[in-house]
Structure 1
Amino acid sequence: MINKKIWHEKLHRHLGQYFLIDTILYQKKNKYHDIKIFNNAVMGNIMTIDDIVQTTEKDEFIYHEMLSHVPIFSHGNIKDILIIGGGDGGILREICKHKNIKNITMVEIDINIINLCKKYFPKHSNNAYEDPRLKLIIDDGLSFVKKTNNKFDVIISDSTDPIGSGKNLFIPEFYLYCKKILKNNGIFVSQNGIPFFQKNEIISTYKNLKKCFYDVYFYQAAIPSYYGGVMIFAWGSDNTELRSMDLEILKFRVKKTKLIFNYYNPNIHISSFVLPQYIINTLDES
């Protein structure tokens, strides 16, 4: 909730984080989301949905680079890519840097999120919505993957947490239809929260993805504005070699693009799949 000076996040029942508010920029609830945008002296503009931090100007690059470039460089030959969610535009911005990608499809349920982020977080998308390769579809992600006839090399699910309208992007049916629309050697990735506090969500995702993909795992990144330690990203593919990348091949692929990153690099890519033992124990126990 917001008061005049402090915003408290209450994603976790018994603890949370707070931000001092310099200016409240936007506050409104629609049929999909309860959206708040405010400015903080340290983190810049911050957007929350249903009282959970979604993105900040200061550290968004970590999340967006890792959710985008890990599957893209692992695959190595992407022509068609699908983003589910991602209305702030950060994933789209990173994908658009890859000139070898021919077709970018983005499915966002709430056009209001896109418009708000263009206004209050312009550097997130950095004009990526003008890229001619983009096909933007305003629809529910589950509905789209059920009815599309298109096939994709990579699917990136950049969703909110599994509450409200985000629930449909964590259920077995969603994963099953994503698998059906992936090409051979395709990769599915999604954000999967903070494992230290969201153990049940990790177990649920792991079990559900295992029903669809031969190789299921997680990789991680430390993102300051997501409270509780490292965030993990779910990974699903039928090709085990894509996750076990050779470092020299990865370095060659990255160097060839001549892209500059603020967080991602080949060594981070490889090491992100090295998980703390408590996460490995959770997966083994499931």
Structure 2
Amino acid sequence: MQGLHLTADLYLCDCDLSLLTQAGPLADMCRGHTLDAGLTLVAEKWHTFPDFQGEPGGVTGMLLLAESHLALHTWPERQGVTLDVYVCNFMGDNSAKAEKLMQTLVNAFKPAKMQRERLLRGDEHGPGTNGELVFETLTPTASFGFRFAERTLSLQTNYQHLELLRSDDLGHTLRLDQRFMTSEADEFFYHEALVHPAAMAHPDPSKVLIIGGGDGGALEEVLKYPSVTEATLVELDGQVVEIAREHLQSINRGAFDDPRVTAHIADGVQFLAQTQQRFDLVLLDLTDPDTPAGPLYTEAFFKECKRVLAPGGAVVLHLGTPFHNPEQVKQLAGELSAVFDQVHGYGVHIPLYGTYWALAIASNELNPLAPGRDQIQQRLTQRGIGDLQYYNADIHGALFALPNFYRALMPQA
């Protein structure tokens, strides 16, 4: 019963159109690759769907194998294919054959983008008993995942697919468009690193703007500062805020109800274009650049952020993973340096993100390295900033000690 289950969702396939619209050529190709992989064909069934509204229909098909099956479906209107390969390992380990078959099929369809999953099945004493294994892809060749005992929510908002998962290790975990955002157990790594290096370097942060951050974690960190008199949060997706209020209270600790807070369910680009307010800190707590937050990762938007900064103010944002996506980090750092006189990169390992993560503080005046360790400690004490799980006076400077591969991506002074 034990076996390996592989799936792949392929997008923008650049293969011959006949592989997406005709059962014959598709079956021939799948049959050949299956036999080449060393698997045993026992039966098959294929069906071509009729044209629909002037578009060719797709094909659905299955090869029954002595080892189990290959199933697939094509969407020619989307240049898409879903693949499903399962093999049992009763008489021997067929995993390598399944991997070979999946890879040759992927190569044949030539997708521009894909999502792949790998699941070990059928071991009653194995890891599957601990819940659903959920993966996130860092690159086409690198992924990581966690097991979750419960899927509390799964819904489509007006902007993205939202999931709320729960495990004993991570607690409730928010996932947007198949990317982990925050969890109850590890949220402090990201939120403390996003807020405190700039807020501690600032002599007297009073007005803070957060764009994004609908989970409320960054907002909760900002409100620890007694000097903060106004905290403005602008979140595009109101359902994220609603779900955070109900399910992620251990992260935001009721921050949305603080009288210093004004929350807007609005587009961050439009908000900045219209506001005349000035802020000591602008925190961009966003999803990744290839999401609805994309327009907020541009030089034009960074100029708008600069416009609303009070004297001595700074912008803080995450840049992504410098190891797995160096070009993105380099590009964003370059765009920031075209707008601001100072761009200070720093980094922190975030367990939920599976890797070392890059962030940056951009400003014309605020230098987060100017206050030394003793001054940071003095400010922590004077401001009464406690209940921190990651950030402290020693960590402050260490965050900005960049490894060489990351340093090489930053603009040279």
TM-score (norm 2): 0.66
**Selected match of 1:224 from 351, 354, 360:** 351
**Letter matched to residue 41 of structure 1:** D
**Letter matched to residue 271 of structure 2:** F
**Selected match of 2:372 from 246, 252, 258:** 246
Instruction: Output the CA distance in 2 between the equivalents of 1:132 and 1:53.
Output: 30
**Letter matched to residue 234 of structure 2:** V
- Greater relative CO, 1 or 2 (CA 8 Å, sep 6+): 1
Who is 2:384 aligned against?
Answer: 258
Instruction: Output the CA distance in 2 between the equivalents of 1:138 and 1:284.
Output: 34
Structural mapping, 1:268-279, within 5 Å: 268-279=395-406
Who is 1:12 aligned against?
Answer: 139
Task: Quote the sequence identity (%).
Answer: 27
Instruction: Output the CA distance in 2 between the equivalents of 1:258 and 1:283.
Output: 34
Q: Deviations over 1:162-183 (max 9, x none)?
A: 1221101211111010001001
Counterpart secondary structure, 1:83: strand
Gaps of 5+ in 2: 1-114, 120-130
**Letter matched to residue 345 of structure 2:** F
Who is 2:20 aligned against?
Answer: none
Who is 2:93 aligned against?
Answer: none
TM-superposed deviation, 1:237: 0.7
Q: In the alignment, is residue 54 of structure 1 matched against residue 185 of structure 2? A: no
Q: Deviations over 1:212-251 (max 9, x none)?
A: 10001211112111123x1111210112544332222211
**Letter matched to residue 237 of structure 2:** D
**Selected match of 1:179 from 293, 301, 306:** 306
When Rg is computed on C-alpha atoms for both structures, the one with the higher figure is 2
Who is 1:75 aligned against?
Answer: 202
Q: In the alignment, is residue 235 of structure 1 matched against residue 361 of structure 2? A: yes
Q: Deviations over 1:248-270 (max 9, x none)?
A: 22111111122221111011011
TM-superposed deviation, 1:98: 0.9
Q: In the alignment, is residue 118 of structure 1 matched against residue 250 of structure 2? A: no
TM-score (norm 1): 0.95
Structural mapping, 1:137-152, within 5 Å: 137-152=264-279
Instruction: Output the CA distance in 2 between the equivalents of 1:233 and 1:284.
Output: 14
Instruction: Output the CA distance in 2 between the equivalents of 1:41 and 1:111.
Output: 28
**Selected match of 1:95 from 222, 226, 244:** 222
Give me the CA root mean square deviation. 1.8
Instruction: Output the CA distance in 2 between the equivalents of 1:11 and 1:242.
Output: 29
In proportion to residue count, which structure has more strand? 2
Counterpart secondary structure, 1:183: strand
Instruction: Output the CA distance in 1 between the equivalents of 2:368 and 2:254.
Output: 31
In proportion to residue count, which structure has more helix? 1
Structural mapping, 1:130-169, within 5 Å: 130-169=257-296
Instruction: Output the CA distance in 1 between the equivalents of 2:132 and 2:389.
Output: 31
Give the 3 Å change call, closer, same or farther, for CA 87–249 of structure 1 in structure 2: same
Instruction: Output the CA distance in 1 between the equivalents of 2:354 and 2:165.
Output: 18
Give the 3 Å change call, closer, same or farther, for CA 277–158 of structure 1 in structure 2: same
Answer yes or no: is the 8 Å Cα contact 1:194–1:227 preserved in 2.
no
Who is 1:32 aligned against?
Answer: 159
Instruction: Output the CA distance in 2 between the equivalents of 1:118 and 1:11.
Output: 29
Instruction: Output the CA distance in 2 between the equivalents of 1:198 and 1:245.
Output: 31
Instruction: Output the CA distance in 1 between the equivalents of 2:298 and 2:329.
Output: 12
**Selected match of 1:170 from 297, 314, 327:** 297
Answer yes or no: is the 8 Å Cα contact 1:82–1:155 preserved in 2.
yes
**Letter matched to residue 224 of structure 1:** P
Instruction: Output the CA distance in 2 between the equivalents of 1:120 and 1:135.
Output: 20
**Letter matched to residue 85 of structure 1:** G
Q: Deviations over 1:115-140 (max 9, x none)?
A: 11122211111011111111111111
Give the 3 Å change call, closer, same or farther, for CA 43–242 of structure 1 in structure 2: closer
Gaps of 5+ in 1: none
Instruction: Output the CA distance in 2 between the equivalents of 1:102 and 1:93.
Output: 14
Answer yes or no: is the 8 Å Cα contact 1:105–1:135 preserved in 2.
yes
Answer yes or no: is the 8 Å Cα contact 2:158–2:237 preserved in 1.
no
Instruction: Output the CA distance in 1 between the equivalents of 2:284 and 2:367.
Output: 22
Counterpart secondary structure, 2:155: strand
Counterpart secondary structure, 1:62: helix
Instruction: Output the CA distance in 2 between the equivalents of 1:127 and 1:190.
Output: 23
Answer yes or no: is the 8 Å Cα contact 2:201–2:366 preserved in 1.
no
Answer yes or no: is the 8 Å Cα contact 1:11–1:52 preserved in 2.
no
Would you say how many aligned residue pairs link Structure 1 and Structure 2? Answer: 285
Q: In the alignment, is residue 191 of structure 1 matched against residue 357 of structure 2? A: no
Instruction: Output the CA distance in 2 between the equivalents of 1:272 and 1:21.
Output: 31
Q: Deviations over 1:169-209 (max 9, x none)?
A: 21111101000100111110011221111111111111111
Instruction: Output the CA distance in 1 between the equivalents of 2:409 and 2:319.
Output: 14
Answer yes or no: is the 8 Å Cα contact 1:34–1:51 preserved in 2.
yes
**Letter matched to residue 255 of structure 2:** A
